[in-house]
Amino acid sequence: MTPCFGQITVAHYLAVGAVLFVAGIACMMTKRNALGVLMGVELVLNGANVNFVAFGSDYLRPQSLGLDGHLMALFVIVLAAAEAAVALAIVLNFYNSRASIDVDRADHLKG
Amino acid sequence: MFAAIDWQAAFFWLFALISCGFALAVLFTPNIVHMASYLIVSLGAVAGLFFLAGAEFVGAMQLMLYVGGTLVLLVFGVMLTSRSNFIRMKTGGGEWILTLFVGGALLLLLLRTAFLVDGWRIPLGQASPPADASTTTRIGLALSGVRLDGGNGYLLPFVIISMHLLVVLIGAAYLARAKRSADGGQPVDRNLMR
């Protein structure tokens, strides 16, 4: 049995979480649209959530985090919803005042 | 024939490929509307992974709060700010090179770490999962401060996150409200003034 294929372990879930995390980080780095940056943040939080659920799952390894992993994942989901609401309000304000959502143009605080 | 297939592994690979593929599609498409729709598919597949890992309550919350709430909010944001010159915004070549370098290095590091720890690579094997496999009741009890398995309850974090959500939503409504002009008249719609 090769280590990659065969029965699913925690490491496989961690690999999926790593891909989501890196895709989100790259999204935050490359997108100039402020909403694209927000979507990158959502991807990063989902990568973290995959890891929490994998460590909390009773089906993947003998001694798991148990319920703690599930509850942390729930808190992350709620925080992501709150973050999206506030960030969207800020983006709409920026769009109303500057008529643009290019994050490169949000440079008024530059010294 | 079907008995020979490890259905957990098969569905894991299905959902993993969908979620990772569409996450990369979110990264590489320049169109913000396509990004939003790809993100919905990717997060839906992640909810499938949650169900597969036995976290059915978290999976349902992922579908209801994330796909049904947060992403609808983002789609509204896209619609409110979608002028034709913002649908596609080009990124410079230098930024792509730097991002692919940093992202590739980070991905290699994380993947190597994931498969390096022995305790994370050992499958459950023949050990049976717990008899009470349903998590919904236990999560509800833990959020009200009672843990059947002896751990700590989550009443205080639950209250804190409730207040946090309330404050955040009031703040978001305050930030995004329609601006009044200085003489207290009609709200100023800058889109019409332009």
pLDDT of B31 reads 87
Nearest to A85 among B8, B80, B168 (CB): B168
Torsion (CA) B29, A45, B46, A26 in degrees, nearest 10: 30
Rg (CA), chain B: 23
* B131 within domain boundaries: no
What distance in Å separates the CA atoms of residue B28 and residue B5, rounded to the nearest whole number? Answer: 34
- Nearest residue of chain A to residue B143 (CA atoms): A71
Show which of B68, B89, B110 is a domain's final residue.
Answer: B89
Chain A residues lying within 8 Å of B69, measured CB to CB: 81
Regions in chain A scoring below 50 on pLDDT: 1-3
CB contact under 8 A, B114 and A19: no
Show which of B89, B106, B136 is a domain's final residue.
Answer: B89
CATH number at residue B66: 1.20.120.1200
* A47 within domain boundaries: yes
Pair B41, B22: CB distance under 8 Å: yes
CATH number at residue A67: 1.10.287.3510
Question: Which of A69, A87, A28 shows the shortest CA–CA distance to B139?
Answer: A69
Do B85 and B1 have their domain in common? yes
Backbone angles phi, psi at B187, to 5 degrees: -60, 140
Tally of structural domains, chain B: 2
Pair B116, A10: CB distance under 8 Å: no
Mean pLDDT of chain B: 83
* B135 within domain boundaries: no
Tally of structural domains, chain A: 1
What distance in Å separates the CA atoms of residue B76 and residue B32, rounded to the nearest whole number? Answer: 12
Question: Which of B10, B54, B63, B110 shows the shortest CA–CA distance to A65?
Answer: B54
* A37 within domain boundaries: yes
Q: Concatenated DSSP letters for B26-51?
A: HHH--BHHHHHHHHHHHHHHHHHHHH
* B118 within domain boundaries: no
pLDDT of B132 reads 66
- List the domain range (segments joined by +) for residue A29: 10-100
* A106 within domain boundaries: no
* A109 within domain boundaries: no
What distance in Å separates residue A107's CA from the closest CA in chain B? 18
What distance in Å separates the CA atoms of residue A53 and residue A72, rounded to the nearest whole number? Answer: 9
Maximum average pLDDT range among B12-21, B111-120, B132-141, B151-160: B12-21
* A107 within domain boundaries: no
* B113 within domain boundaries: no
**Amino acid letter at B108?**
L
Query: What ipTM was estimated for this complex?
Result: 0.89
Do B3 and B78 have their domain in common? yes
- Pick B40 or B80 by higher pLDDT: B40
* B47 within domain boundaries: yes
Contact residues for B149 (Cβ-Cβ < 8 A; gap 6+): A66, A67, B138
What distance in Å separates the CA atoms of residue A52 and residue A93, rounded to the nearest whole number? Answer: 34
Q: SS3 for A81?
A: helix
- Pick B127 or B162 by higher pLDDT: B162
What distance in Å separates the CA atoms of residue B149 and residue B77, rounded to the nearest whole number? Answer: 43
* A27 within domain boundaries: yes
Contact residues for A73 (Cβ-Cβ < 8 A; gap 6+): A49, A52, A53, A56, B50, B55, B58
Q: Does B187 touch chain A (CB under 8 A)?
A: no
DSSP-derived letter for residue A33 is B
CB contact under 8 A, A49 and B46: yes
* A2 within domain boundaries: no
pLDDT of B81 reads 84
* A5 within domain boundaries: no
- List the domain range (segments joined by +) for residue B1: 1-89
pLDDT tens sequence across A49-77:
999 999 988 887 777 777 888 999 999 99
The residue to which tokens 């009470």 are assigned? B132
